[in-house]
Structure 1
Amino acid sequence: MKYAELRDLTAEELRQKEAGLQEELFKLRLRQATSQVENPMRIRKLRRDIARIRTAQRALTGVAAGKGGL
């Protein structure tokens, strides 16, 4: 998932995508604990996708632009 794709989504769509990825990450971590993950790099990809979504959410609220900080 690329950041450019996320910029076009609404705040609600970003929240839904983040929730879905968080759930998938949780399930993968459970499977990893029992050594049943066929692609352990998927965990890294999910974490990075979640970070991209959170960055896009901050950009929507204006915090990343310096409007809500110190």
Structure 2
Amino acid sequence: MRPSEVRQLTDAELSQKLEETYEELRNLRFQHATRQLQNTARFGLLRKDVARIKTIQRERQLAAEAISV
């Protein structure tokens, strides 16, 4: 997911997307543990998606705090 796509999501959608990404990461870990995983590069992509989502959430939080101060 590109950063521009993440920025277009609402706060609720970001939270939902984060939960979905964590769920997919968990499933990939199970597949890896049982040696069923074919595409191990997916781990890195999902971890980067998590970082992007959390970064956008933090930026919005800081912007809201700056406005209220």
**What interval of TM-score do these two structures reach, taking the shorter chain for normalisation?**
0.7 to 0.9
The structure, 1 or 2, with the larger RCO (C-alpha pairs under 8 Å, 6+ apart) is: 2
Paired-residue identity, %: 43
Q: Secondary structure of the equivalent of 1:37?
A: coil
Residue matched to 1:3: 3
Within 5 Å, give how 1:1-70 maps onto structure 2.
1-62=1-62, 67=66
2 CA distance for matches of 1:40 and 1:11?
30
- How many residues in Structure 1 have an aligned counterpart in Structure 2? 65
CA-CA distance at 1:54 after TM superposition: 0.4
Q: Which runs of 4+ in 1 moved over 3 A?
A: none
Q: Secondary structure of the equivalent of 2:58?
A: helix
Query: How does the TM-score come out when normalised to structure 2?
Result: 0.87
RMSD over aligned CA atoms reads: 1.5
Note the residue ranges of structure 2 that are not aligned, 5 or more in a row: none
Higher helix fraction (1 or 2): 2
Structure 1 stretch displaced more, 1-10 or 20-29: 1-10
Query: How does the TM-score come out when normalised to structure 1?
Result: 0.85
Note the residue ranges of structure 1 that are not aligned, 5 or more in a row: none
